[in-house]
Structure 1
Amino acid sequence: MKKYVFVFVAFALVFASCGTVQSIIKSTFPYTTTLVIPASSGTGTTLTAVSQGSSFDQNFTKNGNSTRVNNVRIVSAKMTAMVPSDFNIGNLTSAKIYMAKANGDGEVLVASRTDIGANSGNSITMDIDNSHFLDELVREKNVRIKMVYQLGNKITLDASLRVVLGIAADPVQ
């Protein structure tokens, strides 16, 4: 009899932990995009780069999963140079990242960096703005990511920057 109780408790723990792990995995996901800074961009003026964001879980809205989460918020933001890979992000003096619906409606500031050092290298962590919930945006099939930036130094090649926005959500109870 003790053997059956032990097996039952073991199975219960395994199933409970699988559900917990799945919940954690499903409620934290990145939105990524690649933004291009043209070599023709001028220095000292405010410029804009726009691209469509994508999530590794593209079926998030298709399967109705987005209605099972709420309190969706930004938890991390990172910018990395892709082409050229040795592009110094320190060529930017500031950058602000916004998320919006595909048509630009509902734009929300999600990350920024105003103190980019001249020798920052090819990757920086941005300051997040999690004062807004992004519930409506993650329910959209397409999300637009916009970067508003200023160049401090003239660049000679187009630069492609990958932006990864970590998004977290709470499961609906």
Structure 2
Amino acid sequence: MIKKPVFILLAAILFFGSCAMLQSVVKSTFPYTATMVIPASAKVDEAQTAISTGNSFDQDFTKDGNNASRISEVRIISAKLQSSDPSDYNIGNIASLRVYMAKNDGSEEVMVAIRKDISPNAGNSIVLDIDNSHFLDELVRQPSVRIRMVYRLRKATATDASLKVSLGIGSYPAN
């Protein structure tokens, strides 16, 4: 008896797996992540830039690597910065930052997150203020995106620091 409902549920998931509503939910579930490196040689109180490729888990869901044609009105809904190496790196060493998203070649760049007032004792994780005034439909249709972080250091560190930027997106099914 239990096998039949499980089979029907599995068949329904496979059938509706390509529908726009499911793709919207999937795109909204998996964030774009990028690892930014702040070198030990970075100068204090000067604008510095870190660039990385942003990836999302759901890019592997379809044969061509992207199912974003089924969604529209894509916007940033959350942004977070977390230290990864060393894991206890104090993000308070950064005074302020801006995060931009662009096509892989750097074109069509838009600001997606900002934080102007990072506390000196912020710890190893902070939530960024989002800028969701731009639609990112064309960017998420790209096989990969470029994430650029512009930051000002408050305090230098002795070693390179790797930080993970997580950008959560929200979308609607395409008509």
- TM-score normalised according to structure 2 size: 0.84
Structure 1 residues without counterparts, runs of 5 or longer: 1-10
Q: Which moved more, 1:71-80 or 1:53-62?
A: 53-62
The answer to whether the aligner puts 1:43 opposite 2:76 as a matched pair is no
Per the alignment, residue 22 of structure 1 pairs with 22
What is aligned with 1:142?
Answer: 144
Structure 2 unmatched ranges of 5 or more:
1-7
Aligned residues: percent identity? 52
Note the 1:36-115 alignment, pairs <5 A: 36-59=37-60, 62=64, 65-115=67-117
TM-score (norm 1): 0.85
Tell me the SS of whatever aligns to 1:96. Answer: strand
- Number of residue equivalences: 160
1:141 CA displacement: 1.1
How far off its partner does 1:60 sit? 5.8
RMSD: 2.3
Question: Cα deviation per residue 1:136-170 (whole Å; 9 max; x = unaligned)?
Answer: 00011120000000001111110000000001110
Q: Is the radius of gyration larger for structure 1 or structure 2?
A: 1
